[in-house]
Structure 1
Amino acid sequence: MENLTQLIFKRCLASVATLFVISIIIFIGVELLPGDVAQAVLGQQATPETVDAFRKELKLDLPPMVRYGAWLKGVAHGDFGNSLANGRPVADQIGWRLGNTLFLALLTSAIAVPLAICLGMLAAFYRNTLFDRCISISTLSFISFPEFFIAYILILVFSIQLNWLPSLAAVNENMGLGTRIYTVLLPAMTLTCVVTAHMMRQTRAAIINVLASAYIEMAQIKGIKRLRIIVLHAFPNSLSPVINVVALNMAYLIVGVVIVEVVFVYPGLGQLLVDSVAKRDLPVVQASGLIFSVVYILLNLIADILSMLSNPKLRQSRI
């Protein structure tokens, strides 16, 4: 138990160090953007005096290291600054948007994870059969197409031709849970098509790998049904790689939803990031990028911890 605690502590320290490096990269990336931020916000008609005064107000006249330190100190206290577009606190704009993105990711996970695991177990059960080949071809075909292509195909079928689902995921704070699920079901279906293949293939491969173990052969010799062996014996012992791929895909659902949110005009954090980049609203861009990084690193850390708990062999690894 002590060794496990030390490993978890080391992983936490590594995650914090990674996040610190990412914060530097985000700040430098924003600094390297072409053009003058003050000029871009005020427009070409602004006088040089007005631009200089605005630069001082934004503290753009200070050295980059001083501004990075001030930004990092503010982030540590939950203060991301104020938006350049409307002057509102960035934290107020991000809160509701982040909640929408998390809701879409959780809804997609509730659909995709059970579906992928069931398809993976069935593909392992019917290994090298027509069913296995059809499932593999179908899921890999979905993942081969760009997200926007799948989104437009689903809009064409379910919104325009069948008129079952809305083409725009316009949610608001006053919507009930049922109405909200109905509204975002189409983007959730799009993301499900994208992430199911990864989890299904990993589940199938992990189960097939465990099926070659000696205790599985013994269970088969005893006459235990193959489906029972897969569900009760093979799958629980293949949880470690499955947990990893599920966590990575959940991180993708939160971090990689930008294109889907733009296609469906969904008011999430990805849509806010795109709008802020177009407006050169740098505080919002920095905050959105940092939050995406925190979520991705946190989910990877959770995946590492769960993998160590489910697989004793990983507890002996060293960083």
Structure 2
Amino acid sequence: MKNLINLILWKVALGVLTLFAVSLIIFTGVQMLPGDFATEILGQAATAEAVAAIRESLGLDLPAHQRYFAWVGDLLTGDFGTAFSSGRDVAELIGPRLWNTVFLAGLTAMIAVPVALALGLICAVYRDSWFDRAVNFVTLASISFPEFFVAYVLMLWLAVNAGLLPVLSDVDINSTLSERIYLSILPALTLTLGVLAHMVRMTKISLVSLLENEYIETARLKGNSELRVLARHALPNAWAPVANVVALNLAYLITGVVVVEAVFVYPGMGQLMVDAVQVRDIPVVQSCALIFAVAYVLVNLAADVISTATNPRLLHPK
């Protein structure tokens, strides 16, 4: 237990350092965007005096290092700043959008993770069978296409031709749970096809390598059923790499939904970030990017803890 706690503390410290570095990269990247909010709002015909007045009122005339440390200092106190475009508190804008993105990611995970683990397990047990080849073909084909292409194909098949699902996912704060699921199922299916292949292949590879070990054969010779051998001897040792790849894909579901949300006009963090970039709303862009980074670090931390807790040998590497 002490080793596990030390590992968690070490991972948390690394996560904090990573977020500090990411915050610097985010701030630098946003500053490199062409134009700024003043020129975007006033247009090309604006006078230099008008642009300078707006920049001064928003603090954009300050040196970059002063604006960076002011931003980080406000974040440490829980202040995300004020949106340039609407004058509203950034936290108020992000709150409902973050909930929508987390809901979409959670719905996708509820579909993708059980399906991927089941398919990977079956493919490992019946490797080189027609089922294994078919799953490999379908998963590799789905991951080979860009997300926007998969989204438009599903939209054409399931929404336009079949009429089973809505084309646009216009959820709002008043939507019930059933309405949210109905409106979010099409983007969730799109994301599922994007992350399924990695999880299926990693589950299969991990189990295939373990099923060839001598202790697995010994467990079979003792009369244990195949299900017991898989559940008690194979899966616990295969969970570490599987947990890592599942965590990476779950982190992607939160941070990589920008394209899918834009296609389906889903009111999530990705769509908010795209809209903010278009008008150069710096506080919103920086806050969204940093929240994505925090989610990525937290999910990977959870994956390390879960994989280590389920396989204590990782605490004592050779």
Q: Give TM class, smaller chain.
A: over 0.9
- Shift of residue 308 of structure 1? 1.5
Counterpart residue identity of residue 238, structure 1: A
Counterpart residue identity of residue 27, structure 2: F
In the alignment, which residue of structure 2 is the partner of 1:136? Answer: 136
- Shift of residue 103 of structure 1? 0.1
In the alignment, which residue of structure 2 is the partner of 1:218? Answer: 218
In the alignment, which residue of structure 1 is the partner of 2:270? Answer: 270
Paired with 1:163 and 1:269, the residues of 2 have a C-alpha distance of 27
In the alignment, which residue of structure 2 is the partner of 1:5? Answer: 5
**Aligned partners of 2:37 and 2:84 also within 8 Å:** no
In the alignment, which residue of structure 2 is the partner of 1:34? Answer: 34
Paired with 1:148 and 1:61, the residues of 2 have a C-alpha distance of 39
3-state DSSP of counterpart to 2:92? helix
CA deviation vs aligned residue, 1:207-249 (integer Å, no higher than 9, x gap) = 1121122221012223433344224431232111111111111
- Give the direction of change, closer, same or farther, for the CA distance of 1:286–1:233 in structure 2 (3 Å limit): same
In the alignment, which residue of structure 2 is the partner of 1:281? Answer: 281
Q: How do 1:63-78 and structure 2 match up within 5 A? A: 63-78=63-78
Q: How do 1:1-319 and structure 2 match up within 5 A? A: 1-316=1-316
Counterpart residue identity of residue 217, structure 1: E
Paired with 1:124 and 1:257, the residues of 2 have a C-alpha distance of 30
CA deviation vs aligned residue, 1:72-112 (integer Å, no higher than 9, x gap) = 01111221111111111111111100100000000000010
- Shift of residue 128 of structure 1? 1.1
| TM-score where L is the length of structure 2 | 0.96
**Aligned partners of 1:41 and 1:84 also within 8 Å:** no
Paired with 1:281 and 1:67, the residues of 2 have a C-alpha distance of 15
Counterpart residue identity of residue 83, structure 2: S
3-state DSSP of counterpart to 1:81? coil
Counterpart residue identity of residue 113, structure 2: V
**Aligned partners of 2:37 and 2:280 also within 8 Å:** yes
Paired with 1:39 and 1:154, the residues of 2 have a C-alpha distance of 39
Paired with 2:17 and 2:41, the residues of 1 have a C-alpha distance of 34
**Aligned partners of 2:206 and 2:242 also within 8 Å:** yes
Paired with 1:46 and 1:317, the residues of 2 have a C-alpha distance of 64
CA deviation vs aligned residue, 1:252-311 (integer Å, no higher than 9, x gap) = 000001110011000000011111111111111111101100100111111111122122
**Aligned partners of 1:125 and 1:226 also within 8 Å:** no
Unaligned runs of 5+ in 1: none
Aligned residues: 318
Unaligned runs of 5+ in 2: none
**Aligned partners of 1:39 and 1:46 also within 8 Å:** yes
**Aligned partners of 1:151 and 1:187 also within 8 Å:** yes
Paired with 2:34 and 2:173, the residues of 1 have a C-alpha distance of 37
Counterpart residue identity of residue 71, structure 1: W
**Aligned partners of 2:37 and 2:279 also within 8 Å:** no
Counterpart residue identity of residue 81, structure 2: G
CA deviation vs aligned residue, 1:127-172 (integer Å, no higher than 9, x gap) = 1111111111111110111111111111111111110000100101
Paired with 1:233 and 1:144, the residues of 2 have a C-alpha distance of 34
| TM-score where L is the length of structure 1 | 0.96
RMSD: 1.5
**Aligned partners of 1:121 and 1:231 also within 8 Å:** no
Q: State percent identity of aligned pairs.
A: 52
Paired with 2:139 and 2:259, the residues of 1 have a C-alpha distance of 20
